[in-house]
Amino acid sequence: MFNRTLYALILVLPFTGWFGAGPVSAENIHHHSKYVGQEQRSIKSLSDADIAELQRGGGWGMAKAAELNGVPGPIHLLELKDEIPLSDEQVSVITQLYHQMKSEAIESGTLLIELEAALDRQFRNGTVDETVLRASLEAIADVRMRLRFTHLSAHLQTPHILTPDQIAKYASLRGYGKTNPCDNIPVGHSAAMWRKHNGCN
């Protein structure tokens, strides 16, 4: 027969768990948001690391479509110039490309921070409506597009500066595509020379 008293006790007693866990309050039965703590940010949609990255003109992960598809980035080329290696002329051209990219990225990144801060204030002050929201998001999207274009377009120019062997060396040094080079002969390379260069049997 169903024990109504036991059932009532289960409902009203604090849940203590079956495996020695301490008391769990009714408030904690509900999962906390994964954003807990982020409400303390100065700009809720950007972390301190995000802001620092944007302020210094960093990539912010925006060039992955190029970087991870074998199109090198200027800053990493300069970091690896001795290992690749790059000629003095290549270093000069890539350095100029990098400084231009960084200047544009800092400008767009700074503007993006300002726009996100403005949107944050509007929500905090309760002054946002659908018209303001749409205008804010369109402005943010435009700046993000320009920022991403800046980074990707810089990558887009590097293959014209490098040789195929240098691009392959860059990918290897960056740790991408750790496959057997003997089984992956780049297009345009002599199979015999490639196998000899890589010590293939």
Helix orientation angle between 88-125 and 48-55, rounded to the nearest 10 degrees? 130
Domain ranges of the chain: 44-177
Report which of 96, 63, 91 is spatially closest to residue 78, judged by C-alpha positions: 91
Per-residue confidence (pLDDT) for residue 154, from 0 to 100: 98
Q: What is the pLDDT of residue 20?
A: 43
Per-residue model confidence (pLDDT) at position 199: 63
CA distances from 101 to 89, 120, 147 (A): 19, 28, 9
127 Cβ contact partners less than 8 Å away, ≥ 6 residues apart: 121
What pLDDT sits at residue 2?
Answer: 42
How many whole angstroms separate alpha carbon 189 and alpha carbon 193?
8
* pLDDT profile of the chain (201 residues), mean per 10: 40 38 53 80 91 96 96 97 98 98 98 97 94 97 98 98 97 83 61 63 63
| DSSP annotation of 19 | S
**pLDDT score at 164:** 96
Instruction: Check residue 21 and give its pLDDT.
Output: 45
Contact 86, 94 (CB under 8 A): yes
What pLDDT, on a 0 to 100 scale, did the predictor assign at position 90? 98
Pairwise CA distance, residues 157 & 108, whole Å:
20
